[in-house]
Amino acid sequence: MFCPTCGTPAPETAAQCPSCGGPLLTGAPKIVVVHALRSPGLAAVLSFFWCGLGQIYNGQIAKGIMMMIAYAISAFMMYLLIGFITTPILWIWGIIDAYREADRFNREAEIG
């Protein structure tokens, strides 16, 4: 162990530095968790090209997979004509949701 004040080597069991008398750090080191920020623009672009991919980028894996499944079902329903209404709605909603969720994640990361 080294003294944080003067850098002198000190025994592991010492509470004070033998050289300067300063307190030595004891206990486990603190671990700082850093969250990588998400790009709202990239999340939106990913959802533009593949519905649900922006949610997966945001870390919402289950939501992204469910959106992909719902989009595939909706696209299949184009044979019944209802898909022409539901598919664009799901696609646009996926883009907007991916952007908003990435933005929300970044705001929460800044706060705490």
Placement of tokens 């929300």 in the chain: 104
Per-domain residue ranges for the chain? Answer: 1-32, 40-111
CA distances from 105 to 15, 81, 100 (A): 42, 37, 9
Dist. CA 25–CA 36, nearest whole Å: 29
Cα angle at 86 between 83 and 91, to 5 degrees? Answer: 115
> Residue 55: which of 17, 111, 102, 108 has the closest Cα?
102
Q: Would you state the pLDDT for residue 45?
A: 96
78: pLDDT strictly greater than 80: yes
Cα–Cα distance between 105 and 112 in angstroms, integer?
11
How many residues does the structure list for the chain? 112
By the 8 A CB rule, do 40 and 102 touch?
A: yes
In eight-state DSSP terms, residue 30 is P
Provide the percentage of residues in the chain whose pLDDT is more than 70. Answer: 88
Task: Express each pLDDT in 22-57 by its tens digit.
Answer: 777 665 555 555 668 899 999 999 999 999 999 999
* Residue 96 dihedral angles phi and psi, to the nearest 5°: -65, -45
Task: Give the pLDDT of residue 110.
Answer: 82
The pLDDT value given to residue 35: 66
* Entry pTM: 0.67
